[in-house]
Structure 1
Amino acid sequence: METFLGIELSTWWFAIVGAVFTGYAILDGFDLGAGAIHLLFKKEESRRIALNAIGPVWDGNEVWLVIGGGALFAGFPDVYATIFSAFYIPFMLFLVLLILRAISIEFRSKEPMRWWRQMWDVLYSVSSALIGFLLGVVLGNLIIGLPIDSHYEYTGHFLQLLNPYALLTGATTLSLFAMHGSIYLVMKTEKRLYTKLSLMVHDTSRVFVVFYMLLTIVTLVYYPHMANTIKRYPFLIAVPVITVFNTINTRRLLELGKYLAAFFSSALTVALLLITFAMNLYPHIVRSNINPLYSLTVHNAASSSRSLTIMLIIAAIGVPIIAVYTSFVFWTFKGKVKLDENSY
């Protein structure tokens, strides 16, 4: 395998795929979190403001998911095939939920009837919460490993994916997104809704801290292989330590009412958690719990060196452009939400 700056191309591509999915988790994470807590807003005006806070950005944020899927297929086709076979039912459900969330946002304001809007509010909130939860379930199963045979085929069944650890990871992910989303909403609102959200962010952050601590303890006790990389390279202990201090800092910033700083701190927490996950999974991408030799790694599942080289150049050009565009959209729609005749 060829190298770039002394690092194998497959490792570079592993980092790129991880970075793109991290971008998706940060950006669509607050959308999903805002949706998950949507039903906690009782007034029609509050719900409209909450929807319009994410209205200009939610569909653009999902672009990062499409890019991530394409990058995974291009860089690690065997991993793409195995994961989509193993998680076929969850991913189909995930797709349906994405569609439901989209049409809920767009259809809600088309009719004035109370039952109509309530129906779409429920679908929007439930689909947003389940999407975040399912993402966590996938991560949880990748941590504990999947029953992959010598042909890299999934030999398990759907109910095996709903194991206690994966469900705990799903709940932790949902709580993280709920915290992230509530912080975003408090930045975009004012008056009574701002006051309500100022209290709500403390509740969502406390729930996340509880789940985060519980998941960490369970992982270290039952899945100690997730600390193997840190054991080999002790200096990497800095990543989870920084994550803990950053989580504490997020709580501190919320107490001080510095919501913009808290939002960036929350985004950093998302990134650090995924970095911790990736560095402890590496060089595995899909770990086989039947036989470690059947695992898919960055070495045996990567595309050819020529393909990786060409795609690395494309990624070096394309990803920054999308990042700039995303930043431009957020800059354009900065500030508090104001309802008008064009609002949802």
Structure 2
Amino acid sequence: MELTTVWFVLIALLWTGYLVLEGFDFGVGMLLAPLSRDDTERRTLLATIGPVWDGNEVWLLVAGGATFAAFPEWYASMFSGFYLALLVVLVALILRAVAFEFRGKVDDPVWRARWDRCIAVGSWVPPLVWGVAFANLVRGVPMDAGHRFTGTLLTLLNPYALLGGLALLTVFLAHGATFLALRTLGEVRARAARAGHVLTPLALVVAGSWAVVTQVRYGAPWTWAAVAVAAAGLAGAVLAGRRRREGRAFAATALAIVAVVVLVFGSLFPAVMPSSTDAASSLTVDNASSSHYTLVVMTWVAAFLTPLVLLYQGWTYWVFRRRTGVHHIPAPAGLPARTAGRG
């Protein structure tokens, strides 16, 4: 296997890690208000992802860095063509990260409510945009012979891409609900389970529709297997959730996300950014890649560092594997209170 293909697969694996792990983070953020009744319950939900959410985002940084180093032409064309969409994602992620850190700094319900809204916005926006972006990559975007994007923002907001955004959004909602049912106790767990009973079938319908359209229009013959696995994963999550097998339900939604990534990248290969204007203007693993020497050096570095990162992150999840309930959440202490009429 050529190194260009190896790095295409590695980038797909990095996106898989990001979407599986950050997917339930986004799901928790989107479900923060619907599944909580007071601040203690909201803190319970946030405690389930508190030790891991920032580590999960590292997968995105590594995926972007690997794309820049291994396929600089792909990185340049994608980030210039999707500039506004990626800027929206960046702002949403920054807003979300700041909200996680700041919501508990002041003992004031209005203060916390504002930051909770920021968490919600920062959790709803990225999945929708990522889904639209990946769908456009599969569909192809208008590019000239110089590999420059020649469309507009409205070009990216086509019906197929919007369906892709809704598909990823619903899958992350189901993934987050199953994660919360797995990691919480008491009434919060019951609400999360009930939400999963509704959201997982919804994800099966929406994501299944997008996957079938993708396969029929753009897929390779072998990617039908990915469609079948994704459908089986979501269907299995429905059955496992109804039997209160939260661990199996979570594994099933994670498997569905993995299968969707396989469908996306399998439909792309050997292209990395197809041109809808002229197939000759498409970017492929060959004409978008770095030099062979660069890929060799990157491969040795990745072979050494990747196992260490996986071991560390696996250890983190093992340490924080226990369920969390409202009785585990201490009362806020020592926080400054907001005062009215200052100055």
TM-score greater than 0.5 by the shorter chain? yes
Report the counterpart of residue 330 of structure 2 in structure 1. 340
The letter of the residue matching 1:296 is L
Counterpart Cα distance in 2 of 1:295 and 1:20: 23
**Aligned pair 1:210/2:205, yes or no?**
yes
Report the counterpart of residue 163 of structure 2 in structure 1. 168
Report the counterpart of residue 3 of structure 1 in structure 2. none
Cα 1:82–1:303 shift into 2, 3 Å: same
Counterpart Cα distance in 1 of 2:125 and 2:173: 12
Report the counterpart of residue 28 of structure 1 in structure 2. 22
CA displacement 1:11-51 (0-9 Å, x = unmatched): 00000011011101111110011111112023222111011
Aligned equivalent of 2:174, options 173, 179, 182: 179
**Aligned pair 1:37/2:18, yes or no?**
no
Aligned equivalent of 1:289, options 250, 266, 276: 276
Written as runs of structure 1 = structure 2, the 5 A alignment for 1:126-275 is 126-220=121-215, 224=217, 226-227=218-219, 229-230=220-221, 234=222, 236-275=223-262
Written as runs of structure 1 = structure 2, the 5 A alignment for 1:76-95 is 76-95=71-90
Shift of residue 316 of structure 1?
1.4
The letter of the residue matching 2:299 is L
Shift of residue 238 of structure 1?
2.8
The letter of the residue matching 1:130 is V
Report the counterpart of residue 51 of structure 1 in structure 2. 46
How many residue pairs get aligned? The number is 330
Counterpart Cα distance in 2 of 1:137 and 1:341: 41
Counterpart Cα distance in 1 of 2:66 and 2:331: 40
CA displacement 1:221-244 (0-9 Å, x = unmatched): 6xx1x12x21xxx5x533322222
Counterpart Cα distance in 2 of 1:134 and 1:162: 10
Report the counterpart of residue 13 of structure 1 in structure 2. 7
Aligned equivalent of 1:325, options 287, 312, 322: 312
Shift of residue 173 of structure 1?
0.4
The residue matched to 1:109 in structure 2 has which SS? coil
The letter of the residue matching 1:151 is G
CA displacement 1:304-332 (0-9 Å, x = unmatched): 11111111111112222111111111111
RMSD of Structure 2 on Structure 1 (CA): 1.6
The letter of the residue matching 1:73 is F
Cα 1:275–1:216 shift into 2, 3 Å: closer
Report the counterpart of residue 276 of structure 1 in structure 2. 263
Extract unaligned runs of 5+ from structure 1.
1-6
Tell me the TM-score normalized by structure 2.
0.93
Counterpart Cα distance in 1 of 2:225 and 2:203: 21
Runs of 4+ in 1 over 6 A off after TM superposition: none
The letter of the residue matching 2:279 is P
Percent identity at matched positions? 34
CA displacement 1:40-89 (0-9 Å, x = unmatched): 02322211101111100000111111111110011100000000000111
Shift of residue 156 of structure 1?
1.0
Shift of residue 342 of structure 1?
7.8
| Alpha carbons 2:69, 2:290 under 8 Å: kept | yes
Counterpart Cα distance in 1 of 2:211 and 2:252: 19
Aligned equivalent of 2:108, options 107, 113, 121: 113
The letter of the residue matching 1:121 is D
Counterpart Cα distance in 2 of 1:83 and 1:141: 11
**Aligned pair 1:64/2:54, yes or no?**
no
The residue matched to 2:272 in structure 1 has which SS? strand
Shift of residue 220 of structure 1?
4.9
Report the counterpart of residue 300 of structure 1 in structure 2. 287
Shift of residue 216 of structure 1?
3.0
Tell me the TM-score normalized by structure 1.
0.92
The residue matched to 2:104 in structure 1 has which SS? helix
**Aligned pair 1:310/2:297, yes or no?**
yes
Shift of residue 341 of structure 1?
5.6
